[in-house]
A and B are shown apart, each in its own frame.
Chain A
Amino acid sequence: MKNRTFIGFVGPSLFLMALFIAGPLFSVVWQSLHVTQPVYIQVETEVCTPGFLSQKCTKETQTQPKLDENGKIITETKFSGFESYRALLKPELIFKHISERNWLGLTNIDFYKALRFTLTFTLITLPIVLVLGLMIALCINQALQSLRGPIIFVSLLPFVITPVIGALSIRWLFVGDGILSILLEWLLKREIALFAQGWTIEILMMSYRVWHVAPFAFIVFYAGLQTVNRDSLESAIVDGATRWQRLQLVILPHLSPLILFVSIIHLMDSYRVFEEVIGFRSEAHVISLQWLTYDLLTPDDTGNRLISRASASSMLTMIGIIFLLFFPLSRSWREHKLRRSG
């Protein structure tokens, strides 16, 4: 292809990527290294609260942002270096807690609390999603041709549901006297409060995530199963290979690029776990990295938002994803090179 034609084809998408990916990314990096603060003035203010018959007025000194002649808040932006990262990571406390072997103290720092949950959530759900997806795919592959369509449709439904809505419905099934917790109480003959402690909420969140994304793994694997070489399978049968041996030696090697693909997508998605925290209202017990960013960005009653720390937190989340993806990606790169040279 001629250079000009190549640029003609690739140019528009490069432009859009720069605009919508590189641009925002750069702005987040920049914001995480700077703080923007209003210029404050101390104002003596008389504030009145209505009572039942009269008002209660108090004079107090309030800190207020200074406004310019157009009525806009005057702000100044300063370079703050890695201050926002330090405020999140609290390096001075890590060393203290680690040297004292105080793990509880470490997980009481918001960032590590969130990191602990995010990592367990990601790494525990990954194998379950892979195995479950593969099992559903293998089962449906064995089902009668006429039944496959309806079964596939039904199995895909969880994936179609909006994550927050799904999480909310599961919460309503289990919270307080929800029907499923009543059923569990009846079965186990004891009081059950699934939202009273962290570990039960974590199990609910993971089960929900597996239920939600297993259909994705299933549909990818099912597509892969349609392309398994019939000849190799038949010759394996002729050679007397058991069902398990056929799966292990023929089907799985054939599916391995897809397994890698599903793993990578799942790692990226579940490292950004967020909907579950909101849907299950779990913030008292477990929080995730993405929720931490959200919490810092949410304005309080008086309108304060912590944008610099939120940017730092989302940068750290991105670095975490890159780190997690490094191993599967470098493995596939090595295999790719091996295949080329071989």
Chain B
Amino acid sequence: MKKFLIIASALTALFTSSAVSFAACNFTPSSKLTLLANSYAAWKAVSDAMGECGNFEAELDAEFRKKQPDAFAANPSLYQLGGISNSTIQPLLSAGTIRALDDLVAKYGQDLQPNQLIRINGQIMAIAMSVNNQHLMYREDVLNSLGITVPQTYYELLSAVDKIAASGQVDYAFGGTYKAGWNLAEEFVNMYLGMGGQFFKGTQPNVNNVMGIRTLEMMRNLTHYMDPEYLVADSTYVQQQFQQGKIAMANLWATRAAAMDDQKESQVVGKVKMAAAPYPVTGALPASTLWWDGVVLAKNMTDQQADEAFQLLMEGIDKEMVSENNDLAVWLINGYEPGPMAKGAAETAENGAVPYPNGMEMGLMHTALGNNIADFLTGKETADQTLKDIEAEYKTAAKEKGLL
């Protein structure tokens, strides 16, 4: 009997608490809806807000990009909602597994900003929620104590990290997301595009040139100031190095900025400031690419489900969610107040950083870059040979895919 009472009271507590949270929502989906998205704080905030409506489950997984194309191609789709970025929307677009949202936007999208509607050939295919880019984060206290101004170019940055390293104030002057593979390739893309490089000339790969060599050399110069284990450092690793006061500067994703002031994790609260991504050389573009995160709806589900999924999405990216999580991302949503944490991302965009390039060719190029750059950084190959290898690997893969 006693046991029964405990269970009964627990159940009551559960129902009352969920009733309270349901109140934040206007409706509850009639069938269970699911979301597959990347795993970081902004997605957690959005999916939690959607979860308040009930009958919803979010799967946040850093490896979402490997699951999404196949999961959405299934009929019915395994997820109704998908969290994507400008690059991961590509396979869904080319396989035609996401639906146009024009009618739903007209019906429920009164609060959306025009900026959020991602149109592909005139049709709204995704709702963007935030923008993201890699920009400079630095320890203000360290820079001030050494009398260093915030570096504008990578040459200034190199002399700054040199001074910081000599001062011995931190373990490593600089941090970089140089984990071999996707992260390392992204760093190359940022620097190479910042220098004004183009990845393709017609259908042919085009990295073996002066800008490619300069990019590689700059990357290697930076590694001298990093933790020697930089080839295993992903965004979370660098974020933690910052939080633990081990590094003084890094070019890190805007979505990681809020973590620097997280009282629970960070030992450097209030000391990390944001600035624009530096220029590779004066007069070039910032060494960064513009990304956006957004949500798509699967094509393979009933219109009723799509209708409810879209309403749920509107609950997830509403004013309330933004006001509670203002600094977690650079939101595009109405009600967002850009704080000091967004300064770096905003200035990087204003300075003219270019969007990350689209297309299947770029996907293959990104892989080829990620697999080969480490050989140069560890001194196994010359810059020239590395760039030749990258072009050769691209060509082999493109031939196999029928793109060449």
Contact = CB atoms under 8 A, between A and B. Distances in A.
A67 B90 contact: no
B380 interface: yes
A51 interface: yes
Contacts of B389: 108
Interface stretch (A39-47, A150-158, A236-244): A39-47
Interface string B357-401: 011111110110001001100101100010001000000110111
A195 B349 contact: no
Interface stretch (B43-51, B112-120, B159-167): B112-120
B128 A50 contact: yes
A303 B363 contact: yes
A70 B91 CA distance: 17
Interface string A64-92: 11010001010000000000100100000
A164 B362 CA distance: 31
A54 B230 CA distance: 37
Contacts of A67: 95-96
A283 B362 contact: no
A205 to B, nearest CB: 14
A284 B39 CA distance: 24
A278 B402 CA distance: 30
Interface in B227-253: 227-232, 237, 241
Given A37-B401, A40-B403, A303 B69 contact: yes
Interface residues of B, number: 69
Given A48-B119, A49-B290, A302 B231 contact: no
Interface in B173-195: 179-182, 184
B118 A301 contact: no
B120 A47 contact: yes
Given A65-B95, A67-B96, A299-B66, A304 B227 contact: no
Most chain B CB atoms below 10 A, which of A45, A58, A303: A303
Given A197-B378, A304-B364, A45 B121 contact: yes
B68 to A, nearest CB: 9
A308 interface: yes
A304 B69 CA distance: 10
Given A50-B131, A51-B131, A62-B358, A283 B367 contact: no
Size category of the A interface is 35 or more
B37 interface: no
B270 to A, nearest CB: 24
A302 B374 contact: no
Given A63-B360, A301-B88, A56 B228 contact: no
Contacts of B118: 48, 50
Given A54-B115, A104-B380, A306-B400, A301 B366 contact: yes
B321 interface: no
Nearest to A297: B66
B115 A46 contact: no
Given A51-B115, A110-B371, A300 B402 contact: no
Nearest to B184: A284
B256 interface: no
B305 interface: no
A54 to B, nearest CB: 7
A302 B120 contact: no
Contact of A47 (B97, B131, B358, B381): B358
A84 B362 CA distance: 22
A55 B396 CA distance: 36
Interface in B275-304: 290, 292, 299
B227 A302 contact: no
B66 A304 contact: no
A50 B115 contact: yes
A51 B349 contact: yes
Nearest to A67: B96
A24 B389 CA distance: 33
B228 A300 contact: no
Nearest to A281: B232
A302 B359 contact: yes
A46 B346 CA distance: 24
Contacts of A175: 229, 232
B229 A193 contact: yes
A183 B378 CA distance: 26
Contact of B231 (A45, A65, A195): A195
Given A38-B402, A108-B389, A301-B88, A285 B69 contact: no
Contacts of B380: 104, 108
Contacts of A53: 115
B69 A284 contact: no
Contacts of B93: 64
6 contacts: A35-B400, A47-B355, A58-B355, A301-B366, A302-B87, A306-B397
Interface of B: 65-66, 69, 86-88, 90-91, 93-97, 114-116, 118-122, 128, 131, 179-182, 184, 227-232, 237, 241, 290, 292, 299, 330, 332, 346, 349-350, 355, 358-364, 366-367, 371, 374-375, 378, 380-381, 385, 389, 396-397, 399-403
In the complex, the 3 A-B pairs of residues with the closest C-beta atoms, listed nearest first: A303-B91, A302-B363, A37-B402
Given A50-B118, A175-B229, A284-B180, 6 more contacts: A35-B402, A63-B403, A108-B389, A284-B231, A299-B91, A304-B367
